[in-house]
Amino acid sequence: MRDFLTERRAIPQMLLEAAPQLKAYFGGTAVFNLRAPIDEAGSRTLYAVAMWPGEVLDVRDALAKFDKDWWMARAGRAAGYLTFTYELV
């Protein structure tokens, strides 16, 4: 993952900027995990995953608000290499 972040220098800065926003939308107790799987074509995308112990409707609402209010205005800087999502735990 280090090579991935080194090659896409905007992404680490975006994650730093996103951290307080994620806490605001998902709550201070939400835990986030970074994953960078390689797909069948050999391409890698970084996923910032909110580990969510609550209800699916609540996390979908939080993600939709985060996307609308903060992420969509900045997503172009990530050039499709960063995705915010959730996982129910």
CATH value at residue 38: 3.30.70
Which helix (H) or strand (E) segment holds residue 35: the answer is: strand 31-35
Examine the pLDDT at 29 and tell me if it is beyond 90: no
pLDDT band at 1 (very low <50, low <70, confident <90, very high): confident
The whole-number pLDDT of residue 34 equals 96
User: Of all residues in the chain, what percent carry a pLDDT higher than 70?
Assistant: 100
Domain that holds residue 16: 2-88
- Burial of residue 50 (CB within 10 Å: 0-12, 13-18, 19+) is buried
Provide the pairing of β-strand 82-88 with 46-52.
parallel
- Residue 31 contacts residue 51 (beta carbons within 8 Å): yes
pLDDT band at 4 (very low <50, low <70, confident <90, very high): confident
Total domain count for the chain? 1
Residue type, 35: R
